[in-house]
Amino acid sequence: MAEATEGRRLNANDLWVLATVVGMTAVTVLTRSLFFLSTTPWRLPGWVQAALQIAPIAALAAVIAPEIVTTQGQLIDSWRDARLFGVAAATAWYVWRRGLLGTIVVGMAVYMPLHIGLGW
Amino acid sequence: MKQSLIAHPDFRVGVREMLTVAPGIAAWGLMTGVAMAKSGMSLAAMLTMATLVFAGSSQLAALPLLAAGAPMWVILATASCVNLRFVVFSAHLRPYVMHQRLWRRLFSGYLFADLSYVLFVRRFPQPATEARGRAAQDAYWLGSGVAAWVTWTGTGLLGIGFAASVPQSWGLAFAGILALLGILYSLLSGPLQATSAAVAAAAAVAAFALPLKLNILVAIAAATAAAMMWPKPRRAAA
């Protein structure tokens, strides 16, 4: 359980993860500097600009949704899942107050008692 | 040249203005550190991610994919998509950095993130046209960027250390999902955005059985295609 934070020996998978993390650093630099690269001015076509607005939203939603409504690849079939209540509370806070930190804190405040106390 | 930028008064202004929003970055960095520690990564990978990547939302989005053993290209494609907002910012910031050499421009790109972008364009609505103005802008950019990096990296490492003393069963990693949820909500500026998010969420769950976490890419493609078919003509964002 806690082995992740111990200094265990690296295996092949760890090296692969490490390479992925280095790749993510390159992604950070490239996406933030994309328009800094060329000295000749250029513009993206309109449809690409429109796609640039939507892709981050789609990527976030696509990563989040399965983490909330599936367990080991199966759609959950019970409402007794702490994640649903945590998300509901976080969403209610966001609608009311808009703060990112509050959204996380309120969501966890509802999620943790249900998850730890009731085992949901 | 770097030396003179650090001595420039605008370096301090950049640091100071970034520090006013640093509590937000600190909370976020702490939480990302915890989420990294709970993801099952090796210590080396965690420390590398905490010190190098410097992009919170793409780090958090990559964690479930890394844990599921998704192929590298799927993870990098997802990280790129989450980061695409920076491409839009880079188009806006281009005139501010083109006097720099290429490697320096890449470093400038690495250093700016959402908050530093907002602070920078608030202080410098117009790109400078002479050397003195450019020096002020470069110094401010460096100051705010370094302050953000130190805050982010320091609290990320703290979070990794703190998480080691918390049992896995508490489910702290869920905070990472809630953070992504909060960012997602902040991006939903209209019905087009909300519909796209709903399409992507539904597609990602429906296609969950696909191998290699390809459901993420299917969902991005589906939502982007759906947005292209959106009836109203839309202006590109300014």
Q: What is the pLDDT of residues B26-73, one digit of tens each?
A: 888 888 998 898 888 889 999 999 999 999 889 989 998 998 889 999
Going by pLDDT thresholds of 50, 70 and 90, the confidence category of residue A5 is very low
pLDDT, residue B2, reads 55
Search chain A and give the residue with CA nearest B108. Answer: A33
- Which candidate from A52, A64, A101 shows the least CB-CB separation from B177? A64
Taking 70 as the threshold, does the pLDDT of residue A8 lie above it? no
pLDDT tops 80 at residue A42: no
Q: Which of A42-46, A61-65, B122-126 shows the lowest mean pLDDT across its residues?
A: A42-46
Inter-chain residue contact B42 with A86, CB threshold 8 Å = no
What pLDDT score does B6 carry? 92
ipTM of this model? 0.84
Measured between alpha carbons, how far is residue B212 from residues A12, B66, B67, B72, B132 in Å? Answer: 18, 11, 12, 10, 52
Please report the pLDDT score of residue A114 as a whole number.
94
Low-confidence ranges of chain B (pLDDT < 50): 237-238
**Beta carbons within 10 angstroms of residue A105's beta carbon:** 17
pLDDT given at position B233: 56
Alpha helices in A2-120 (DSSP H): 12-33, 46-69, 82-97, 100-112
Q: B210 or A65: whose pLDDT is higher?
A: A65
A6 pLDDT exceeds 70? no
Best mutation site among B87, B92, B155, B158 for testing chain A: the one with the most A CBs within 10 Å? B87
pLDDT at residue A3 in the model: 44
The Cβ of residue B23 has, within 10 Å, a number of other Cβ atoms equal to 12
Give the pTM.
Answer: 0.80
Q: Are A31 and B84 in contact (CB under 8 A)?
A: yes
pLDDT for position A2 = 41
- Select the more confidently predicted residue: A6 or A70: A70
**Mean pLDDT, rounded, of chain A:** 86
Buried b / exposed e across B178-217, counting CB within 10 Å, b at 16+?
bbbbbbbbebbeeebbebbbebbbbbbbbbbeeeebebbb
pLDDT for A104 beyond 70: yes
**B51 contacts on A by Cβ (under 8 Å):** none
A-facing residues of B in 34-73 (CB < 8 A) are 37-46, 48-49, 52-55, 57-59, 61-62, 64-66, 69, 72
- Give the single-character DSSP code of A70: E
Closest chain B residue to the Cα of A9, Cα to Cα: B42
For residue A4, pLDDT beyond 50: no
Q: Among partner residues B85, B168, B181, which is closest to A56 by beta-carbon distance?
A: B85
Tell me how close the Cα of B18 comes to any Cα of chain A, in angstroms. Answer: 17
- Chain B nearest-CA residue for A13: B69
pLDDT at A9: 61
Residue A10 pLDDT: 64
